[in-house]
Amino acid sequence: MDLDLWRKEEIAEKVLKVCQSYPEFLIAQKKWPQYDQYGLNVVLQKRWQELEKRWNYGTDSPFKKAPILHYIGNGKIGGSKCHPEFRQIFYELLPQIPGIN
């Protein structure tokens, strides 16, 4: 991400304005808050590139080792489609987070 361009074009401010103007679009699939994602999609449309799947792997996908896991949607830790292996990884790593007892 080009932070100089981000600041120059006031992307954060524009995203916030979109989110504040259209709060009805901040809930994905009428279930999950997506907070800034809608604003980012609107402001940055046609200005992004899709990453390889390994960098955007959801825990509702079939189990495999991935460098980054996203606990989103039905794959949230308490979600019905979060695979048990991903749930186990989450709870194994949780104590390593500073401030978590």
Count of domains for the chain: 2
Whether 58 and 33 map to the same domain: the answer is no
Whether 69 and 38 map to the same domain: the answer is no
CA distances from 100 to 19, 24, 53 (A): 31, 33, 30
User: HSE (CB half, 13 Å, CA atoms) of 28?
Assistant: 12
pTM (predicted TM-score):
0.62
State the pLDDT at residue 21.
94
Condensed to tens digits (0 to 9), the pLDDT of residues 53-82 reads 888 888 988 888 888 888 887 888 888 889
Partners of 57 in the beta sheet?
A: 69
Separation CA 98–CA 18 (nearest Å): 34
Is residue 43 within 8 Å of residue 14, measured between CB atoms? yes
- Residues (pLDDT < 50) of the chain are none
Q: Which domain holds residue 73?
A: 53-96
